[in-house]
Structure 1
């Protein structure tokens, strides 16, 4: 299957989503080594005109140049334990940027073996660098899982990573469509994969409260790393997708 059918072209180029918000679609990745998945990073331009790069995707010189036209890159964000693997190359080309990471990421064996630099841990409290514009919610799970979610107040955009996956069946090879349906990650109201729902649910009240905070934002748009964003009736779609947690 062509990568253009699995993903959301044009790839590896910034696409405006809202004022001061861009997405970069890329991929496909191979989940579990076999399942092709689209992947996405998000770019936010802060009030000081600097850029925050959320969940960086694969690096290219052309993409770097396009992003720099939007503003200087000051921040990289690794929002959970799975979305950090492209950081190394971005850091090599933008060494002056600060890297913010989900708590616990630095203790993972793969990260320790790498040369990735993690400067600060994130939490439910936004750092001063963007506290006036972005709210954060830490969604905890067992086994060291934590996903940091971002709400960009000026645009009403909620940025998740794996807490929602919304894969379109037409973009999946036939062999994997049934698997995606069983996992509950199929559009129009995808969810977190079954294993991730279990990991988060086991955190009980803290996880449920985090889910309630996300829904309370009443976002105009919800974007995430894998699949079609919620760009219509986003708040209602988010409620359905997080019903397992609420």
Structure 2
């Protein structure tokens, strides 16, 4: 295989991986299913006998219902479940009740802590910076690579590859920070404890990662791989051009 054919194969793979990474980035960041959560408040139901005297408390039953959340990087939606028995399909299937309410999440993981502290604001600031930088870098790199033309401008390929690498690393930082917020830091435990103390002693919060979060590692992988390939293509084109210049007789 000649060097020109190898460059075409690398360009095809880089474009394919770049388009795949761009598509998965849009699907991951543009959908509201990074985190699936359900919160409930169960209270003991009291029963009374025929004489009007209390006979005793029965088994615990959910009185306040179950509120289900699904949250992305920009929006948070919630609605009340019909019964205590709910599944992931209650969130993913589009036949959700009309009581569903969506509002901006302000790039802030579920749930919002009602207590004003400095740490969440700092976390949110860095979270917003990495997310905005990553999305902008991935989008701009796509246009730069398109403008690079068919194996002509090695600088544009290098710049596009570097931006894809930057975007992939920033999205990786967002994913790591999200995992830290949900799994490592005690923010969710503090929120649940605050709800138990202030509103409901038997408050229960259950969370799980959604399909949008599962697409994030795939987007990061393809963005990084495409970025490396574009940089290799730029270096190969530059080397080919230098060889042609050196071969030109003086």
Report TM bin, short chain: under 0.3
**Relative contact order higher in (CA < 8 Å, ≥ 6 apart):** 2
TM-score, normalised to structure 1, is 0.27
* Higher share of residues assigned helix: 2
Which entry has the higher C-alpha Rg, 1 or 2?
Answer: 2
* Higher share of residues assigned strand: 1
TM-score, normalised to structure 2, is 0.27
